[in-house]
Amino acid sequence: MDENTGDARADAGDPSKTDDGDLSGLFAPERVAVVGATESDGSIGRAIVENLQADFAGETIPVNPNYDDVFGLESYPDVGSVPESSEIDVAVVVVPPKIAVEAVRQCGEAGVRNVVVITAGFGETGSEGASRERELAEIAQLHDLNLVGPNSLGVMSTPTGLNATFGPENALSGSISFMSQSGAFITAVLDWATDEGIGFKDVVSLGNKAVLDETDFVRTWGDDPDTDVVLGYLEGVEDGAEFIDAAREVTDDTPIVLVKSGRTEAGAQAVSSHTGTLAGSEQAYEAGLEQAGVLRVETVQELFDFAQILSGQPIPDADDVAIVTNAGGPGVMTTDAVGDSGLSLASFSEATLEALADAMPEEANIYNPIDAIGDADVERFETALDLALDDENVGCAVVLSAPTAVIEFDDLAQVITDLQAEYGKPVASVLMGGERTESAKEILREGGIPNYFDPARAVRSLDALSRYREISRREYEAPASFDVDRERAREVLERAEERGDNRLGVEAMDLLSAYGIPTPEGTVAEKPEEAVAAAQDVEGEVVMKIVSPDILHKSDIGGVRVGVPNEGVYDAFEDLVTRARNYQPDADILGVQVQEMVDVDAGTETIIGMNRDPQFGPLLLFGLGGIFVEILEDTETRVAPVSEREAREMVEGIRSAPLLRGARGREPADRDAIVESLQRLSQLVTDFPAILELDVNPLVAGPDGVQAIDVRLTVDTEKL
């Protein structure tokens, strides 16, 4: 292997990917070759052939030089020897790692487009494996291969009965397509899902994602009319920006529900020992997945609760929930769950209330939740649900029933299914009980209606529908492009290179000016005379600050002087430099910043900043200065570039936002100016990937504009 090639993945544009991204051959093949097919007991090669033989509608072709046939199918010594080998749609590779790379190369040479590498012993096992994985990626690029894995459990697709995995039995058919970075997760979930009656369209075990990753499958399933919901278990996202782009497009009409594990510190460590990859920050995942339009969940239960309702029920037009029950207590719990969610309790129209009053017994509660009381039969439930769904103030409904002598759950299930279909409003069902609910659940399932024992889950699932409605309606405006002085910004950044240092401080205020973020008048003086001259150019008294990359906490060493009159500037200059020298004799002192006085008290101190995440790139931060960021951790983050809407969400989203809006008799801060500064910062850090970290602290927001008072940044001079 050519060692100059390096890691293909690290290069921009990810050249290991094929161009058109058409994966239809992978999921709907006619001919599947199994490279390493065998009858050997307990082997993966055998499991795959058996799984394929069980249901697959197409042709299974064993490839193994040691056998003439496998389970009665003619076996070939290599892929190239198979007749019309270029018409093999998928090759599944299970041979040992040392020969797997060569096997994939042969697939490429034979014209096979889709390869699933089951073989483990690649990137997950250390440097030798990692180098083998790079080689695999290069071969894939060379031959334009759609390569799944390595270290994959395989792929499934129910329409063709394809089960090219060495794991579970084939899934039930359905409209959920599911990807997982953990093969065991697939095995565990499918076994359970089959018993729960949950079906799938495609299932893919991503393995090490040497070539195809989550973004490719999101794109594929977004274009697939048979996939209603994309589901995933991920431990990381390969390329955050690309993923966001793809997901935003797909979630226009296909919801994406994901577990991204490794959320906690302990979890991130576990991910790193499980997959061998360095985890990006949870903050970046949280922001990035939200911006991508992903419904992120934390538990297996929520993953499938959301998947089921999203695949089975329509999107509600409104968030007002009607509750129909025969059980007061569980009705109250349902109401609490509505209070906890983004939904609200529907207020029935007068007409509905009158009709309910006529139809229900006197002791019933006709206000929402409708308590049809313990002796309600199916007919009374039907009347109540019919009236509720017919009310234009109702967007969706929960039907909740305790078992009673007069309720037949099967009949109730049929009524719920019929009325849901009639009104086209989403309904979740809570038939509470044990085995007696089984056949009713079956009836509900056929109508696409999920049933839960716990009312809180029903409400959270309806809430997911509502959240997805908002996601599907999102308009992703392009980030604003301000007229900036990019060349001047580059010059400022290059100063770091010239100084052989990767840190810049207040001497880089010009960087902000170049991108239109307002800064006080000022300059860095290298000599006291220059300081005096600079102060004379500024109206009134000045602020003077020592400028040194080696002194981070200027105030702590007396390195800042506020309110210096012109006649004091010379002495102040010398005093500041002396203090700095005393504090740290070998400090690199660049001079003294002489700056216009800004009335900090007349505004609110805010912080805008950025750090760069390995997966998602530039992550912007906003918060109020001082205790708000440092103690209360009251910040909002977004992956850059941000649109105006996103920048505004950051400013309005912090808990302490009322302070900016003028709470407690303050003058409101100019939030538009903060929003614009965030967008300009977003443009700056997007234009210059060399900026690794940057903090404007404080950005003082007055009633009439903002001013950046200080800045600190780290630059990767090699990327300039």
Query: Which residues, numbered 470-509, are part of the site for a copy of itself (CB under 8 A)?
Result: none
* 659 is a contact residue toward a copy of itself (CB under 8 A): yes
CB under 8 Å, gap of 24 or more: what pairs does 437-441 form? 437/409, 439/409, 439/410, 440/409, 440/410, 440/412, 440/413, 441/197, 441/413
Q: Report yes or no: 404 and 375 within 8 Å, Cβ to Cβ.
A: yes
User: Among residues 19, 299, 585, 599, which is the contact residue for a copy of itself, using CB under 8 A?
Assistant: 299
* Residues in contact with 280: Cβ distance below 8 Å, sequence separation at least 6, in sequence order: 236, 237, 240, 613, 614, 615, 616
Name which of 110 and 428 has its Cβ closer to a copy of itself.
Answer: 428
Strands 295-297 and 256-260: parallel
State in angstroms the smallest separation of the CB of 273 from a copy of itself: 5
State in angstroms the smallest separation of the CB of 171 from a copy of itself: 12
Closest CA to 534 of 591, 479, 581: 591
Q: Hey, which residues between 250 and 269 contact a copy of itself (CB under 8 A)?
A: 259, 261-267, 269
* DSSP track, 608-672: EEEEEETTTEEEEEEEETTHHHHTS--EEEEESS--HHHHHHHHHHSTTHHHHTTGGGPPPP-HH
Q: Hey, which residues between 180 and 199 contact a copy of itself (CB under 8 A)?
A: 180-185, 187-189, 191-196
Name which of 125 and 584 has its Cβ closer to a copy of itself.
Answer: 125
The owner of tokens 């499938």 is 304
State in angstroms the smallest separation of the CB of 504 from a copy of itself: 25
Classified as helix, coil or strand, 520 is coil
Q: Which stretch binds a copy of itself (CB under 8 A): 271-279, 528-536, 574-582, 638-646?
A: 271-279
Residue 153 has a CB neighbour count (10 Å cut-off) of: 27
Name which of 219 and 260 has its Cβ closer to a copy of itself.
Answer: 260
Q: Which stretch binds a copy of itself (CB under 8 A): 334-342, 523-531, 535-543, 636-644?
A: 334-342
State in angstroms the smallest separation of the CB of 325 from a copy of itself: 8
Tokens of 368: 């929402």
User: Among residues 286, 418, 454, 574, which is the contact residue for a copy of itself, using CB under 8 A?
Assistant: 454
Tokens of 394: 């109702």
**Whole-angstrom distance, CA of residue 75 vs CA of residue 487:** 64
Closest CA to 335 of 367, 296, 379: 367
Task: Convert 436-504 into a string of H (helix), E (strand) and C (coil).
Answer: HHHHHHHHHHHCCCCECCCHHHHHHHHHHHHHHHHHHHCCCCCCCCCCCCHHHHHHHHHHHHHHCCCEE
* 210 is a contact residue toward a copy of itself (CB under 8 A): no
State in angstroms the smallest separation of the CB of 261 from a copy of itself: 4
State in angstroms the smallest separation of the CB of 344 from a copy of itself: 8
**Whole-angstrom distance, CA of residue 60 vs CA of residue 78:** 14
* 154 is a contact residue toward a copy of itself (CB under 8 A): no
Q: Hey, which residues between 388 and 407 contact a copy of itself (CB under 8 A)?
A: 402-405
Q: Report yes or no: 700 and 667 within 8 Å, Cβ to Cβ.
A: no
Name which of 235 and 613 has its Cβ closer to a copy of itself.
Answer: 235
State in angstroms the smallest separation of the CB of 517 from a copy of itself: 26
State in angstroms the smallest separation of the CB of 233 from a copy of itself: 6
Name which of 137 and 372 has its Cβ closer to a copy of itself.
Answer: 372
**Whole-angstrom distance, CA of residue 528 vs CA of residue 522:** 14
Q: Hey, which residues between 107 and 136 contact a copy of itself (CB under 8 A)?
A: 125
User: Among residues 128, 298, 422, 470, which is the contact residue for a copy of itself, using CB under 8 A?
Assistant: 298
* 379 is a contact residue toward a copy of itself (CB under 8 A): no
* 276 is a contact residue toward a copy of itself (CB under 8 A): no
State in angstroms the smallest separation of the CB of 286 from a copy of itself: 13
Name which of 142 and 453 has its Cβ closer to a copy of itself.
Answer: 453
State in angstroms the smallest separation of the CB of 520 from a copy of itself: 24
* 98 is a contact residue toward a copy of itself (CB under 8 A): no
User: Among residues 99, 172, 315, 332, which is the contact residue for a copy of itself, using CB under 8 A?
Assistant: 332
**Whole-angstrom distance, CA of residue 490 vs CA of residue 703:** 32
Crossing angle between the packed helical segments 300-312 and 183-196, to the nearest 10 degrees: 50
In angstroms, how far is CA 527 from the centroid of its own chain?
51
Q: Hey, which residues between 593 and 632 contact a copy of itself (CB under 8 A)?
A: 626-627, 630-632
* 318 is a contact residue toward a copy of itself (CB under 8 A): no
* 333 is a contact residue toward a copy of itself (CB under 8 A): yes
* 172 is a contact residue toward a copy of itself (CB under 8 A): no
* Residues in contact with 354: Cβ distance below 8 Å, sequence separation at least 6, in sequence order: none
* 558 is a contact residue toward a copy of itself (CB under 8 A): no
* DSSP track, 129-169: HHHHHHHHHHHHHHHT-EEE-SS--EEEEGGGTEEEESSSP
Classified as helix, coil or strand, 310 is helix
Q: What is the DSSP letter of 176?
A: E
* 699 is a contact residue toward a copy of itself (CB under 8 A): no
Q: Which stretch binds a copy of itself (CB under 8 A): 24-32, 52-60, 558-566, 658-666?
A: 658-666
State in angstroms the smallest separation of the CB of 664 from a copy of itself: 6
Q: Which stretch binds a copy of itself (CB under 8 A): 12-20, 51-59, 340-348, 530-538?
A: 340-348
Per rule CB under 8 A, count of chain residues that contact a copy of itself = 87
Q: Report yes or no: 108 and 140 within 8 Å, Cβ to Cβ.
A: yes
State in angstroms the smallest separation of the CB of 82 from a copy of itself: 29
* 73 is a contact residue toward a copy of itself (CB under 8 A): no
